[in-house]
């Protein structure tokens, strides 16, 4: 039996496999206010994210998806910390997480990212970073669609 090397064990932490096998908030909302379907055309991973947004706050969220452990665990972790958070909070989580994926060590220490911090090892696998960001791409698009027209978040380059 082959044993995985250190980089693999840091990539595939138990918490990630747990979210992959038992995704949180998987399903559909009957009363969602926005739905975004995001695909990674290069590899076929896809995520359908639904939010119920009231008063600039995410009251409820669900996702359906198909793809690798990283993309599906990432979106599961993301949904598990965003309930009852403001849209601004959610944007800030997305930015912290994106920073961590691009090697920002400070972002990786941010405890508010909770389970998402387990994905830190993905930053060592540049090809897989886009997998981890797919759910956040869907989130940012859903937030953009939830904002009234004219409310544009300033773009922050990674």
Partner 1 sequence: MSGLDTASTSTVPPVPSLDVEALRRDFPILSQTVNGHPLAYLDNAATSQKPQVVIDAILGYYQEYNANVHRGLHELSRRATDAYEEARGTVADWIGAPSPRELIFTKGTTEAVNLVASSWGDANLKAGDEILLSELEHHSNLVPWQLLSERTGATIRYLLLDDDGRLILDDLPAILSSGRVRIGAIAHVSNALGTINPVAEIARQLHQAGALFFVDGAQGAAHHPVDVSDLGADFYAFSGHKMCGPTGIGALWARRDILEEMPPYQGGGEMIDLVGKEGSTWAQLPHKFEAGTPNIAGAIGFAAAVRYLDAVGPESILRHEQALVRHALAELGQSPGVRLFGPSDARGRAGVVSFRMDSAHPHDISTILDREGIAIRAGHHCAQLVMQRYEVGATARASFYLYNTVEEVDRLVRGLDTVRSIFGGA
Report phi then psi at 135, rounded to 5. Answer: -65, -35
In the bound state with partner 1, the residue whose beta carbon lies nearer, of 6 and 149, is 6
**Which of 18, 12, 122 is CA-nearest to residue 80?**
18
Q: Residues in the site for partner 1, rule: CB under 8 A?
A: 1-5, 7-9, 11-12, 17, 21, 42-46, 66-70, 125, 127-128, 131
In the bound state with partner 1, the residue whose beta carbon lies nearer, of 82 and 129, is 129
In the bound state with partner 1, the residue whose beta carbon lies nearer, of 5 and 155, is 5
DSSP letter for 24, please. T
In the complex, the smallest distance separating the C-beta of residue 58 from partner 1, rounded to whole angstroms, is: 27
Instruction: State the Cα–Cα distance between residues 127 and 87, nearest whole angstrom.
Output: 29
**Which of 67, 87, 89, 84 is CA-nearest to residue 20?**
67
Q: 139, 90 in Cβ contact below 8 A?
A: yes
In the complex, the smallest distance separating the C-beta of residue 42 from partner 1, rounded to whole angstroms, is: 7
In the bound state with partner 1, the residue whose beta carbon lies nearer, of 5 and 152, is 5
Instruction: State the Cα–Cα distance between residues 72 and 19, nearest whole angstrom.
Output: 8
In the complex, the smallest distance separating the C-beta of residue 57 from partner 1, rounded to whole angstroms, is: 33
Place of tokens 């082959």: 2
In the bound state with partner 1, the residue whose beta carbon lies nearer, of 44 and 158, is 44
In the complex, the smallest distance separating the C-beta of residue 43 from partner 1, rounded to whole angstroms, is: 5
In the complex, the smallest distance separating the C-beta of residue 12 from partner 1, rounded to whole angstroms, is: 5
């Amino acid at each position: 039996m082959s044993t995985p090397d250190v980089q693999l064990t840091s990539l595939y932490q138990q918490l990630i496999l747990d979210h992959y096998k038992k995704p949180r908030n998987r399903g559909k909302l009957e009363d969602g206010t926005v739905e975004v379907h995001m695909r990674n055309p290069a590899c076929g991973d896809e995520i359908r994210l639904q939010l119920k947004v009231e008063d600039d706050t995410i009251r409820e969220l669900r996702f359906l998806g198909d793809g690798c452990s990283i993309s599906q665990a990432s979106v599961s972790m993301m949904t598990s910390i965003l309930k009852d958070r403001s849209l601004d909070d959610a944007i800030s989580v997305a930015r912290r997480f994106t920073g961590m994926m691009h090697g920002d060590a400070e972002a990786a220490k941010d405890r508010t990212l909770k389970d998402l911090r387990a994905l830190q090892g993905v930053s060592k696998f540049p090809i897989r970073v886009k997998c981890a960001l797919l759910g956040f791409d869907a989130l940012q698009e859903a937030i953009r669609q939830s904002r009234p027209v004219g409310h544009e978040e300033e773009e922050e380059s990674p």
